Structures are given as structure tokens and as C-alpha cells.
A and B are shown apart, each in its own frame.
Chain A
């Protein structure tokens, strides 16, 4: 790293300039968003309902919808996804079928989110008769998050050294005791990080919810999974398509509210990881 010929050549200058441009784009995006959202920077904006009058509009119902969706997605995708990862890594025999499932899952992580929306429309909204509800949205987002949760959890489990398993088995531990007592504690930080990544990706999705038929205009906050589907990302979309300047400010404000939600999820995951590291000792 610290060779004498540091930073002082044409390539270094060109690459430094490119990096500076990336940094500038990031700062531009941040400053533009904050600047646009200036006029809605008050606590009432987070609680009020959207309104035809831009100066009285808020993101209350959309925020509640996004929190519901996040909880449903986490409650569905994390146990099933992590359970599947444990099964595939620790229980399933390594045959052709397992390899096929593995590569199919890897392929599914790259499927565009809007495609999951189309499938969710057929399966949950129409097929199971859920209608365009929070529940249908949560199920669709959970399916979208599932491949990522499984793939990242499998990587974390696979990284646990084989010696730990062998040592526990040699002491007479059963398979589940090895998994519970040795593998999961060691893999937990990686599983939490992967789950957090999958969850934050999904919470920010607008496209699949639009396809399901997210309500364009909700004046009351959803109280449960059966209520009509609304969310911050679709709210941002609806306000962005309005041409009036006032609504652009609302969209920017809703964007910042969404980023705050994502930040909170990340901080929560960080806290969980820190506690685990403390508890492992």
C-alpha cells in the first residue's frame, strides 16, 4: 500500500477525479433532497394525512403502512428464510436436488422487483383473494426478500469452521445441539447483516406495490394487515408525478422520512449484532 510511487501518476489523477465526481454526485443528491424538503421540516408532516392542499399534507398513513409492511415482511421472510438456510446447510444431503435448489435461489435474487409484484398480483391479490391490502403487500415483499435472506444466511453459516461442528459432535452433541449451540451463535452476525440488507432493500421498493394496486390516496392510517395498501415509496411516487412545485417538496420530505426509517432498521441491526458479540463471550 505504501509504495514510494503513491498517487503521483496519470492514472491516479484520473481515477481520483472520477472518485471526486462520484463524491460530488452523492453530495448533490443529499443537498438537493434536503433543500427541497426544507419547507416540510416539521413534526406534523410525519403524522398528518395526505391532502389535496399541499400545505396541510403529511405522510402519516404512508409511514404507518410502511411500518406495517416492514413488520410483516420481517415476520414472514426472516424465520422461513433463515430456517431454509439452516436446513440446506446443516440437514440436507448434498445431492443434485440440493445443488439445483441452491442455483435456483441464487438466480431468484436477481429477478427484478416489479416481476415479484406481477406474481404477487396473481397469487395473493387475486388468487388468495387478499385484495390490494397491507397483507398482500407484506406477502409479496416477503417473497421478494426471501432469496436474499436465504443466500446471505447460507454464506454466513458456511463460513463457520468445520472444526467447531466436529468438536461438538465428538463431545456427544446431537445435530440440533451443534446447530443451536455452535453454528448459529457463530453465524449470527452475518445472518443479521444479511437479513438487514434484504429488509432495507425491500422496504424501499415502490414498483411491486404499485403493481398490486397501492391506494393512491389514503386519508386514514392503516390499523391492521386487512386495510388498504399504502406505503412511503408509493406515496413518493404519487407526489412526484404531480407537476406542482409544492408537491415536489412533499415528495422530498417523504423521501427523507423513508431514509430515516431505513436508518432506524440499520441501527437496530447494528445494536443486535453488538449485543450478540457481547453475549457470546
Chain B
């Protein structure tokens, strides 16, 4: 559009009179809805915590929401979520970071095209399809190797969530590597260091802020992941370190036991909101620490 599009005095006045209020209305609706989302979580969590003491909620080790004498100790769920997130990062981060390094500093044009497309496609796969893959491919493979493994186990979920977060790690750490000035590479090579040495000793440390942020963001996604853990990790709310046993994460509790039929106002209904609030706090904590560490990392390289 050029100057020609700027004529027409009548439509100009009308358009200008309507546009501002209409756009403001959009903003009010959007912000209002999102405030309602956070608000309803806060209100229902508050109501739940008047019935179940907050101290017992975060210190008890039994999660038995539908027992005759229900117990609401969130620790087993929280520990399971941490285990899945850390496990997924153990598998996903090294492969993701090394793939990013390969893409940025070693791959030829064709390998780069194919790999970029593959990671984009992996990022587009719905998590319920990953869950299907975990239960029907990964779990049988693990049980073939370790026959004592339970049908629902943490390892299968960790591996598959690791695959799911991989595209996030690849894309974000690659853009961190891209933002390092190319002069650093040239300087390193000019000093006679090999490419691998320059990448490992200079470029990756220089990009470390962005890479750490990528890891935290990927872990936040793993914490919020629901369908893979619901399908593959089972529903036993227990404190266990064995990756070959089943466990139940915060998200899996919500997905498995709600199915929309818990009556409003009951303790079980309140538990969904309290668990959601815990999830929210964990995810926001991970995001904020990622941003904080990233900003510190960047400051260090600028000096």
C-alpha cells in the first residue's frame, strides 16, 4: 500500500472512530479472560487450603484423594514430576545440544535441511501421539531388555518426554550459538586451534547463557507434559527412585482422575486446583530462573 491508499476522507473518520475502542475491547476481553483463569485457580486453591492445612499439603507423603479418609500430601506427585523432568533433560539435553552444535558448525547444506525439517516435524507431533509411541514401542523395548520392568514405568516416560523436548533444546540452543559473534571463531582458528577446540572451549561457553535458558524452558515443558506421563508412567502416587517402577506426576493426577465428573465444591475437585497451582508455580519458577541465569550468562560474555 502506498499514498493511494490514504485517500477517502469519509472512511478515514469512521475507521478511526471505531478502531481504537474495538481494539481496546479485544484487549479487555483477552486480559479479563486470562485474569479469570488465574483468578479461579487462586480462589479454588484458597478454598481447598482452608479444608486441608497448607502444611500437611506440602509435607505429608500420602496422596490418597479418593480414600475413605482422604490424604492430600502433594510430595509424591511433586517428586514424580521432578524425576520425569530431570530424566527427560538427561536424555534430551545432550542430544539436543550436540545436534544444535552439529547444525551450526559442522553440517553441510543438505544435512542441515533434512535435520531442520525432522526437528520441526518432531515439534509438531501432538503429545498424545508421543504417549501412544511410549506405551506401544518404548515400553515393550525396555521390558525386552529388563524383563522385571513394570508395564507402566518412569523410564519409558523419561525417554519419550526427552524426545518431545528435544526440538525445543535444538532450536533454542542453536539460536544461542548463532548469536555468538563469528569473529570469535575466526580468532580461535587464526590462533591455530582446531574447529572442535574453538567450538568446545570458546563458542559454547560464550553461548552458555542462552543454552541454560533453553534447558530450563525445555524442563518447564517437561513439567507441564501430561499425555505421555498419563499413558506411560501409570497412576501410583508413590515415592520411588526406581525408573523401572510406575509413578504419578502432578499433571497425570489431573488428567487421570478428573474426566470432568468430580462434583463442584468437593475436596477432590479442590485438589485439581491446588495441584494446578503447584504446577503453575513450578513452571513459572523454572522460566524465571532460566531468564535470570541467561541474563547473567550474557553479562559475563560481554565483558
**Using a CB–CB distance below 8 Å, which chain A residues touch chain B?**
3, 5-7, 9-12, 14-16, 18-19, 21-23, 25-26, 28-29, 32-33, 36, 79-81, 83-84, 86-88, 91-92, 101, 104-105, 107-108, 110-119, 121-123, 125-127, 132, 143, 146-147, 150, 168, 171-177, 179-182, 185, 200, 203-207, 210-214, 216, 233-234, 236-237, 240-241, 248, 251-252, 255, 258-259, 262, 266
Contacts and interface: CB of A to CB of B under 8 A. Distances in A.
A22 B119 CA distance: 8
B25 to A, nearest CB: 8
B30 A146 contact: yes
A120 B135 CA distance: 28
17 contacts: A11-B199, A12-B105, A15-B105, A22-B118, A32-B133, A83-B30, A108-B37, A110-B217, A115-B276, A119-B276, A121-B258, A181-B5, A181-B6, A206-B127, A236-B126, A241-B231, A251-B136
B128 A236 contact: yes
B132 A181 contact: no
B99 A91 contact: no
A125 B99 CA distance: 44
> Which DSSP category, helix, strand, loop or mixed, fits chain A's interface?
helix
B40 A122 contact: yes
B186 to A, nearest CB: 9
B271 to A, nearest CB: 10
Most chain B CB inside 10 Å of its own CB: which residue of A22, A25, A29, A180: A22
B27 A88 contact: yes
A204 B128 contact: yes
A32 B134 CA distance: 11
B12 interface: yes
Given A125-B260, A207-B226, 10 more contacts: A9-B194, A23-B118, A26-B119, A83-B26, A112-B223, A113-B226, A115-B224, A175-B19, A210-B255, A251-B136
Contact of A108 (B1, B34, B197): B34
Given A123-B40, A211-B260, A174 B194 contact: no
B128 A233 contact: yes
Given A18-B99, A113-B224, A118-B272, A251 B124 contact: no
B15 interface: yes
Contact of A118 (B26, B41, B135, B195): B41
B196 A87 contact: no
Interface in B226-242: 226-227, 230-231
A111 B99 contact: no
> Which DSSP category, helix, strand, loop or mixed, fits chain B's interface?
helix
Contacts of B226: 112-114, 206-207
Interface string B19-33: 110111111011101
Interface string B160-176: 00010010001000000
Contacts of A177: 5-6, 12, 15-16
Nearest to A231: B128
Chain B, interface residues (CB within 8 Å), range: 35 or more
Given A236-B128, A259-B129, A6 B195 contact: yes
Contacts of A212: 260
B189 A3 contact: yes
B6 A119 contact: no
Nearest to A215: B260
B231 A240 contact: yes
Most chain B CB inside 10 Å of its own CB: which residue of A25, A252, A262: A25
A188 B1 CA distance: 13
B37 A143 contact: yes
Interface in B32-80: 33-34, 36-37, 40-41, 44
A30 to B, nearest CB: 8
B122 A26 contact: yes
B137 A32 contact: yes
Most chain A CB inside 10 Å of its own CB: which residue of B16, B94, B132: B132
B251 A114 contact: yes
